[in-house]
Amino acid sequence: MAECSHDCSSCGKSCSDKQKKESFLKEAHKKSSIKKVIAVVSGKGGVGKSLTTSLLASYAHKSGKSVGIMDADITGPSIPKMFGVTERASAEEDGLNTVLTPSGIQLMSMNLLLENENDPVIWRGMMIAGTVQQFWTDVIWRDVDLLFIDMPPGTGDVPLTVFQSIPIAGVVVVTTPQDLVKMVVEKAVKMAAMMDVPVLGLVENMSYLTCPGCGKKIEVFGRSKADGIAAEYGIPAVAKLPIDPKIAELADLGRIEDYDCAALKVSCAPP
């Protein structure tokens, strides 16, 4: 019997090298330059993924990084609204250009491609996932240090497509204090582990309300569970965002970049 030559193309054996997991990673657009990709995830909608993405991106940009945001929530995009961006994306001969926020953050979202931002996108899962993949392969991201991906809720087609086709450096998981949210957030944490993607930090949104009279912290939605989840799963960083009417006001006005997000202390760099 001939010895293995380590040339699998001429080998009929089912050795370990041939059984390595097939890579589904896609190349970014040839004109793109992206150093790191961070996905913002949760197992449930309505917990504040878009807000967290916007604040993280704004904080990183103010810290001197070149930043982009990919809005992967195709049927419920909200990133352009938060940044006050209404300009439609333009196309070059071989790719699609991002749209800049007032401070210079690069954006791509379904709402930047629609004639009317209020028009619904009524597509099946495979088409939605394919569009998100095109936001990676067909969009030109220019000299981006950090690309944040605002993910849709759950662990279905789009999250799976993103994890498999885009080289994610890590994820930030968003939660709120309720027990139900804790359960579905754990699903997102476990999915990241199954996809071999590190969890960089946990953001507990609506963690507390500061009383305007006495300054006491009021846990409106129950006692914080962020530290316990982080300890259980070995998550290195935790941020607790308050219920702050100023955040809601600036988001509604399309001026989320004006918020002072220095208190958001989740590392944007993989360990």
Whether residue 199 contacts residue 170, with contact meaning beta carbons closer than 8 Å, is answered with yes
Q: What percent of the chain has pLDDT over 70?
A: 88
Only one residue has tokens 């993989």, namely 270
Q: Tokens in use for 244?
A: 């702050």
Is residue 21 pLDDT above 60, yes or no? Answer: no
pLDDT band for position 267 (50/70/90)?
very low
More reliable by pLDDT, 22 or 108: 108
pLDDT band for position 117 (50/70/90)?
confident
Number of separate helices (H) and strands (E) present in the chain: 7, 12
Whether residue 224 contacts residue 204, with contact meaning beta carbons closer than 8 Å, is answered with yes
pLDDT band for position 15 (50/70/90)?
low
Whether residue 207 contacts residue 226, with contact meaning beta carbons closer than 8 Å, is answered with yes
DSSP category for residue 225: -
Whether residue 143 contacts residue 100, with contact meaning beta carbons closer than 8 Å, is answered with no
Whether residue 226 contacts residue 208, with contact meaning beta carbons closer than 8 Å, is answered with no
Is residue 1 pLDDT above 60, yes or no? Answer: no
Residues 162-212 pLDDT 10s: 999 999 999 999 989 987 777 777 888 888 999 999 999 999 999 999 888
Residues 214-257 pLDDT 10s: 889 999 988 888 888 889 888 988 889 999 898 999 999 999 99
Please state the length of the chain: 271
More reliable by pLDDT, 147 or 19: 147
What average pLDDT score do residues 79-84 get?
97
- Lowest mean pLDDT, pick from 46-50, 126-130, 265-269: 265-269
Is residue 11 pLDDT above 60, yes or no? Answer: no
Is residue 262 pLDDT above 70, yes or no? Answer: no
pLDDT band for position 104 (50/70/90)?
very high
More reliable by pLDDT, 2 or 41: 41
More reliable by pLDDT, 228 or 150: 150
Average pLDDT, the chain: 86
| Beta-strand runs (E) in 22-143 | 34-41, 67-71, 96-97, 99-100, 106-108, 139-140
- Give the pLDDT confidence score for residue 70 in this predicted structure: 98
Is residue 266 pLDDT above 70, yes or no? Answer: no
- Give the pLDDT confidence score for residue 132 in this predicted structure: 95
- Give the pLDDT confidence score for residue 180 in this predicted structure: 72
